[in-house]
Amino acid sequence: MLMAIGLLTGATTVLFGFGGGFVAVPVVVWADAALGTAALPVATATSALVMVVSAAFATAVTPRSVLLALRGSGALLPLLAAGACAGAYATRFAPPALARWAFVAYTALTALDLLLRPGFLRMTRPDAGPGRAPRPLPAAAGAPIGAVAAFLGVGGSVMTVPAMRRAGHPMRVATALANPLTLAVALPAVAVSFAASSPPGTGLVGLVDPYAAGALLLGALPVIAVLRRRPPRIPDRVHAYAYLALLALVTLAMALSGA
């Protein structure tokens, strides 16, 4: 089951810039339900590891011409990492119910914002287009994005993709650039998770479930390789609606996993 979900994780990593967090967190919560209240912190930590590997691989096979759009983001990346350290550390003390329902509330509000506020489903800038180079996000946004993303285990793309989209960037570019930005968030979160003490007799490494992470990656990495080599041609507006639909689906899945 986890390997099958990994296939979806790989596809969403390429097509939408996320997958490790939004797809893996609800699934690992379900898979590790026997851990009780520890299931959500373990799912968050495990999803961070999946995000590191998936985002690193997706970044490595992204055309250099796309990645060059991140020039000028030097200050943003360390601030993302610093915020992620704080968010990952905070998960060790937050009540599981708070983290779960914060995840649901955040993703639900984001989906409503994308649906109701102009600029995401249809680009409004007249100079927007597939050939337009994305601008880097403001460095000041790095710390809060990193902290929220690591605390919820979402990777940050739910904030970076809409921001780049509203700046007039096509979905193809915005989702591709979400991978290296996710890497900056997930690396320190994984380090904090590995350093945590694990419950005895669970097979965990820190707070990471290595078996769940391995199964997810076995499904995800081949899909990333194929889709990066032969990307599907998706109309920009259809791509935006699909992003919104997936976000709503994951919100529902996480809400039901806590029922």
Q: Is the dihedral of CA 240, 16, 88, 38 positive or negative?
A: positive
**Enclosing domain of residue 86:** 2-257
Give the residue-averaged pLDDT of 224-249. Answer: 88
Query: For the residues 61-65, what does the mean pLDDT come to?
Result: 81
Joined tokens for residue 42: 């373990």
- Is the predicted pLDDT of residue 218 greater than 90, yes or no? yes
Mind listing the pLDDT tens digit for each residue in 170-180? 888 888 888 88
Rounded Cα distance between 3 and 9, Å, is: 9
> Worst-scoring range by mean pLDDT, 31-40, 202-211, 232-241?
31-40
Average pLDDT over residues 149-172: 78
Q: Helix, strand, coil % (nearest 5) of the chain?
A: 75, 0, 25
**Residue 154: per-residue pLDDT:** 67
Q: What is the pLDDT of residues 98-136, one digit of tens each?
A: 877 888 888 888 889 888 888 888 765 544 444 445 566
Q: Give the number of domains in the chain.
A: 1
Q: Of 78, 104, 92, 74, whose CA–CA distance to 207 is shortest? A: 92
